[in-house]
Structures are given as C-alpha cells and as structure tokens.
C-alpha cells in the first residue's frame, strides 16, 4: 500500500496486479463498480454459452439420454470436487446440491445424530438468520434439546461449549460485519469438548483460503452464487468429512442419496459416500451454469486472492476515513485485517437511502437492516481504481446529502 494515496499510486497498484487479467473472464456493465459480489457474483461469458449448449443440444437434442451421455447425473459430484479445491477439501467430500438452508438442516441433524446423548446446539445470535431458523427446525424433531446463543447466553461462543454440546453451528465470516473467525482454533476447541462443528462458509468460499481438511472440520455448507459466481439461486454445497460419511444419517433421504437410485427399492439405503447427502433430482441448467462459472478459477490460487482482498479492503477503509469523515459513518468491520473477510461494512443512520443513491450512480453495494451498508470486494474482477472511484461517489453522496431525495427512502422487496 503506497504511503501517499494518489490516483497515480492507485493506478500503479493495478498495473502490478497479477490478478488483473482475470477481470476479462467476467461480464460487467460499463460504468458500474460492483461491490456486491458477496450477495450475487456477476456472470461470465462462458456461462451464456454453456447454458445455450445445455438447453439446445443436451436437452433439445439429447433429451433424457443426456443424463448418461452428457454426464448430468454425476454433475453434483464432479462440481463438488472442483469446489473442494477452493475450500481445502480432498475429492469425495463435497457435493453440490439443494440450498444452503436445506444443507444446514442436513448437516446439523446428522451431527446431532452422531452425538445422540448431547442435548445442546451452540450458535451465534448474530448468525445469518436462516442458520438459526434451520437449527430451530432440527430442535423441533428432537425432544429435550435446546439452543444456546453467543451474545445471549454468553459473550463468547467458546464459553458455551461443554460436555452437553452436540454441535456448534457457526459462520466463518459474519454476513453483516465481515468479521472472520479462526476456523482451526474453534474447531479444535469444540473437539476438545467432544462436540462436532458445522461451518457456514457462504461468505468465505471463493474469498479466502478455507482449509477444511487441515482444520479437521466435520461439516460445512456454502452457496455458489456469491464469490463463486454461479448465478442467482445456483445450488449450494455440503462438505462432510470422510470419517463421518458412513455413520452420519441424512434426514432428507431422497432418492438421489440412495445407494442404488434406479433399483427403485421401497426402503432407503443410503450411499456409503458423499452422494448420500443429496436429496432429489438436481437442477441441470443451474449446475451447468456453475460449471462454466468455475472455469474462471482455473489457474487462480486462493493465497493470491486473499492477498488482493486484504489490499482492496485496507484501501477502501483508508480512503473512506480520509475523505468521508464527519458525515455519520461508523466502521462496523474489524480494523485488524487478519480478522476481516472480503467485505467492509459501515453503519449510517440512513444507510438504506445512502445505498440507493450510490446504486443510482453506478456503485452497487447493499444494505442490511437496520443500518448497515455492505461493500463486497471480489479480487477476480475488482481493480484498485474501482475502489478509488467508489469512495469518490460515496463522498459526493454524503457531502451533498443527495440521499435525502424522497425516492431513495422507498423500500424495495429485496434490500
């Protein structure tokens, strides 16, 4: 990071950026600075071609034969292994299927089943809400169990883990603040107490190195439409450590998880491996879009992604605080870079209105109630010049109070 933050210095950073050429693998509208890849990543040109080929040739011409001839049936496994490379998982432990919420339910239920004598789920009050909703769903099927929450029942999650704990459900990166947990340390703490851990890695997969195998993680779930750029509503994934696969029971025992799905047997006999964690027929068009999206990661190392991510977020914080002081912003993300994911959040009393004014001017971030503006930084397609420009626009919106126009206060269904 240059000591003097001039535009020339910023442009020099871009000139030296080894990930700079990767931007050409994505379709980004002219005049847009996209800082919302932590909600929905952009498309790549390869995706459009893949969707057309799948629809026109494989579906249109191959029809049902394409389940075999085009490899449709194995897509959840082959794509799972490709994602495994990005999250530190050896092949055979990750499968792409269903949604994040459904996979959380599967993982928590399976973990509780591996610790049947233990009645407690430990989670975060600040968790992404669907995690807690699905945990509540698991509790509703198990008499005498309960959930303890960091921030309600104790200040720190570590203080809640003891001999009663069956499973710890925890986010690697907090969806609102961007705070990063130490995955290896917390996993070890849970294991010392005899508990299992389910990690939600939605906000870290594709944003930073996630070493699931090295940290001895039990279960992990994540989505593919954020930093992995799989498209709106693209399927999620679930990781189950190989050591648990034979014994863990999948509660949503659909036919795709059967050891012999086309034997059409009347009772469920789960596959011995990761296939067991599938449920019903998977969406082929979405899987093909994800396949093409993952091509953008060819030749990319997660250490380089993390290095640029930290530089981008450091630069953004430094520029915002230098140019936007005294206009109501409060940093909500950790200032210490090692504790930060790939996003920066600022609070403002009129965060929704400010964000709408930014979006109208071509700087797209997002809002999280009640007062958080989130800015996601995806190193594969963002430049340092983008950060400079985004802060220029933010300063203009705040200093002129352009956000006060009444139209910016009208809430849309999706914020």
Q: Can you spell out the DSSP letters for 345-360?
A: EEE-TTHHHHHHHHHH
179 touches 334 (CB < 8 A): yes
Tens-digit pLDDT profile for residues 58-117: 999 999 999 999 999 999 999 999 999 999 999 999 999 999 999 999 999 999 999 999
CA-CA distance, 169 to 167, in Å (whole number)?
Answer: 6
Tokens of 321: 């605080």
* CB atoms near residue 75 (< 10 Å): 22
Q: Can you tell me whether residue 68 is helix, strand or coil?
A: helix
The answer, yes or no, to whether the previous bond of 370 is cis (omega within 30 of 0) is yes
pLDDT for res 310? 98
Q: Can you tell me whether residue 16 is helix, strand or coil?
A: coil
Question: Distances in Å between the alpha carbon of 369 and those of 59, 232, 298, 345, 357?
Answer: 42, 22, 36, 12, 17
Q: What are phi and psi of 208, to 5 degrees?
A: -160, 165
CA-CA distance, 127 to 228, in Å (whole number)?
Answer: 21
Element containing residue 33 per DSSP (H, E)? strand 33-34
Tokens of 174: 């907090």
The residue with tokens 């958080």 is 372
Pairing mode, strands 237-240 and 94-96:
antiparallel
CA-CA distance, 385 to 251, in Å (whole number)?
Answer: 48
Tens-digit pLDDT profile for residues 121-157: 999 999 999 999 999 999 999 999 999 999 999 999 9
CA 160 from centroid of its chain's CA atoms? 25
Q: What are phi and psi of 238, to 5 degrees?
A: -135, 135
Cα dihedral 73/85/226/288 (nearest 10): -30
Tokens of 264: 């059409």
pLDDT for res 74? 97
Q: Catalytic: which of 36, 98, 200, 366?
A: 200
> Which residues fall within 8 angstroms of residue 61, CB to CB, at 6 or more apart?
none
pLDDT for res 4? 72
CA 100 from centroid of its chain's CA atoms? 9
Q: Catalytic: which of 26, 34, 105, 128?
A: 128
pLDDT for res 415? 84
Q: What are the residue boundaries of the structural domains of the chain, listed by start?
A: 7-30+301-409, 49-297
- Residue 48 annotated among the catalytic residues of the structure: no
Helix 100-114 and helix 129-139, axial crossing angle in degrees, nearest 10? 40
188 touches 164 (CB < 8 A): no
CA-CA distance, 388 to 13, in Å (whole number)?
Answer: 12
Tokens of 253: 């025992």
Q: Can you tell me whether residue 17 is helix, strand or coil?
A: coil
Q: Catalytic: which of 175, 225, 237, 381?
A: 225
CATH topology (fold) of 49-297: 3.40.640
pLDDT for res 5? 83
- Residue 226 annotated among the catalytic residues of the structure: yes
What CATH number matches the domain at 7-30+301-409, 3.90.1150.10, 3.40.718.10, 3.30.365.10, 3.40.640.10? 3.90.1150.10
CA-CA distance, 294 to 192, in Å (whole number)?
Answer: 36
CA-CA distance, 222 to 236, in Å (whole number)?
Answer: 6
- Extract the residue ranges of the chain whose pLDDT is less than 70: 1-2
Question: Distances in Å between the alpha carbon of 18 and those of 21, 209, 341, 343?
Answer: 7, 17, 20, 21
- Residue 128 annotated among the catalytic residues of the structure: yes
Q: What are phi and psi of 150, to 5 degrees?
A: -60, 135
Q: Catalytic: which of 106, 118, 176, 226?
A: 226
- Residue 237 annotated among the catalytic residues of the structure: no
10 burial type by CB count under 10 A (0-12 exposed, 13-18 middle, 19+ buried): buried
- Residue 34 annotated among the catalytic residues of the structure: no
CA 167 from centroid of its chain's CA atoms? 21
Q: Where are the alpha helices (DSSP H) in 229-375?
A: 242-245, 284-294, 302-323, 351-360
Q: Catalytic: which of 25, 82, 374, 389?
A: 374
Tokens of 173: 């990166």
CA-CA distance, 380 to 299, in Å (whole number)?
Answer: 12
């Amino acid at each position: 990071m240059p000591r003097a933050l001039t535009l020339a210095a910023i442009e020099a950073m871009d000139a030296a950026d080894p990930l700079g050429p990767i931007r050409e693998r994505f379709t980004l509208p002219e005049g847009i600075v996209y800082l919302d890849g932590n909600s929905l990543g952009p498309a790549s040109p390869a995706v459009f071609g893949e969707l057309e080929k799948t629809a026109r040739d494989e579906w249109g011409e191959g029809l049902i034969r394409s389940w075999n001839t085009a490899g449709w049936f194995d897509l959840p496994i082959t794509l799972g292994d490709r994602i495994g490379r990005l999250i530190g998982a050896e092949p055979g432990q990750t499968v792409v299927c269903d949604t994040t919420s459904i996979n959380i339910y599967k993982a928590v239920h399976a973990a509780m089943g591996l610790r049947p004598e233990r009645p407690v789920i430990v989670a975060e009050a600040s968790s992404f809400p669907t995690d807690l909703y699905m945990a509540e769903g698991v509790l509703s099927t198990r008499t005498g169990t309960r959930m303890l929450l960091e921030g309600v029942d104790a200040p720190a999650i570590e203080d809640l883990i003891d001999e009663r704990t069956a499973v710890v459900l925890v986010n690697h990166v907090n969806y609102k603040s961007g705070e990063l947990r130490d995955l290896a340390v917390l996993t070890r703490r849970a294991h010392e107490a005899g508990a299992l851990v389910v990690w939600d890695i939605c906000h870290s997969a594709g944003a930073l190195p996630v070493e699931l195998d090295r940290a001895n993680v039990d279960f992990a779930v994540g989505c593919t439409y954020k930093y992995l750029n799989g498209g709106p509503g693209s399927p999620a994934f679930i990781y189950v450590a190989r050591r648990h696969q034979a014994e863990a029971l999948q509660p949503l025992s659909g036919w795709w998880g059967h050891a012999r799905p086309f034997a059409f047997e009347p009772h469920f006999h789960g596959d011995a491996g990761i296939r067991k964690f599938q449920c019903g027929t998977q969406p082929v068009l979405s899987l093909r879009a994800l396949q093409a999206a993952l091509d953008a990661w060819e030749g990319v190392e997660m250490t380089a992604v993390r290095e640029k991510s930290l530089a981008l977020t450091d630069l953004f914080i430094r520029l915002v605080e230098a140019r936007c002081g005294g206009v109501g912003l409060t940093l909500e993300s950790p200032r210490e870079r090692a504790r930060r994911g790939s996003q920066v959040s600022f609070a403002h009393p009129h965060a929704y209105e400010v964000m709408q004014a930014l979006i109208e001017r071509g700087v797209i971030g997002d809002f999280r109630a009640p007062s958080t503006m989130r800015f996601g930084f995806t190193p594969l397609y963002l430049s340092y010049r983008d950060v400079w420009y985004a802060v220029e626009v933010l300063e203009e919106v705040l200093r002129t109070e352009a956000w006060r126009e009444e139209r910016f206060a009208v809430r849309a269904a999706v914020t």
